[in-house]
Amino acid sequence: MQSITLNNGVKMPIIGFGVYQVPDAEECEKAVYEALMAGYRLIDTASGYLNEEAVGRAIKRSNIPREELFITTKLWVQDANYESAKLAFAKSLKKLQLDYLDLYLIHQPFGDYYGAWHAMEELYREGKIRAIGVSNFLPDRLMDLIVHNEIVPAVNQVETHPFYHQIESSAFMKAQGVQHQSWAPLAKGLNNLFGNEVLVSIAEKHNKSVAQVVLRWLVQRGIVVIPKSVKKERIVENFNIFDFELSTDDIEQISTLDTRKSLFLSYRDPEVAKMMGNWKVDL
Ligand SMILES: NC(=O)c1ccc[n+]([C@@H]2O[C@H](COP(=O)([O-])OP(=O)(O)OC[C@H]3O[C@@H](n4cnc5c(N)ncnc54)[C@H](OP(=O)(O)O)[C@@H]3O)[C@@H](O)[C@H]2O)c1
């Protein structure tokens, strides 16, 4: 298993399995179990996905030694303050049936995430979390968090796929020692990703699928990927990306697909801050 080393020395698999929008408990447990059986060791969930219990059951059923796993969950906006973050962390741990977490992320750059970060720094120092990080932080927010706190986030999980390369953000994160992790690496299949002519021709050349080419491209950039699928054959396919290499020419072709903007939402839009702030989840 190829891994990267975070800024605190902790090793993280370069490929993991994401479970956003798999709310059905049975389906989620089955998919995570299949992913673990296929060889994935990193599972990416969030309190806001409402499936931590199903993830926990799959982990337990897999019988994989705890130290071989890398489990990530995230703190939702409504819990982004010092006291709530501590309570939310304890709840997540219980639902996951774990006694420590590998990575805990602030899900969104909204609310009192400074208070939350202080709580997370304490939990990290107490040994309850091996690494702490953020998600959806633009470079200015990330720098602000870094300069005002002791612990530099280990990871920033941001939307990254063939239509949104995040070139400057990625270079910025690298310079700060923050590991870039891609969410929606397959762009959720939007924008006809799987039928894209450039990607199809590269895939044919390597005798691989478009999904494999896209995941390989991100991994070759040193970016951690967490594709989601509820289909066993795709779960296996997405993991099978270490037996080929994209050429400089392939990478140049993929660079032409960058639209330099999100397919989903802008973190500079006040309406997004409002929507996230009002997004209450029954956690
Ligand atoms: N931090 C954040 O704010 C944030 C936001 C979004 C996502 N995430 C994380 O990132 C993970 C991945 O992102 P995502 O789930 O939004 O999207 P994604 O992984 O880019 O795409 C998932 C979609 O692609 C399909 N798919 C997967 N593998 C395929 C293959 N080999 N061939 C064809 N179709 C395939 C899946 O369908 P089937 O399931 O039917 O196969 C699903 O519709 C999430 O699960 C979550 O853990 C984080």
Taking phi over 0 as left and psi of -120 to 50 as alpha, with beta for the rest, 156 belongs to beta
Give the SS3 label for residue 83.
Answer: helix
pTM reported for the whole predicted model = 0.98
pLDDT band at 221 (very low <50, low <70, confident <90, very high): very high
pLDDT band at 282 (very low <50, low <70, confident <90, very high): confident
Reported as a single tens digit per residue, the pLDDT across 77-105 is 999 999 999 999 999 999 999 999 999 99
- Structure-token match 């050349």, residue found: 205
Looking from the CA of residue 209, the nearest atom of ligand 1 is: 31
- The Å distance, Cα 162 to ligand 1 centre, comes to 14
Q: Look up 33 and say whether it is catalytic.
A: no
Residue ranges of domains in the chain, CATH in brackets: 3-278 (3.20.20.100)
**Are residues 254 and 162 in contact, defined by beta-carbon separation less than 8 angstroms?**
yes
Residue of 40, 49, 104, 124 marked catalytic? 49
Cβ of residue 241 lying under 6 Å from some atom of ligand 1? no
**Are residues 129 and 100 in contact, defined by beta-carbon separation less than 8 angstroms?**
yes
Q: What is the mean pLDDT of residues 180-206?
A: 98
- How much is the pLDDT for 283? 82
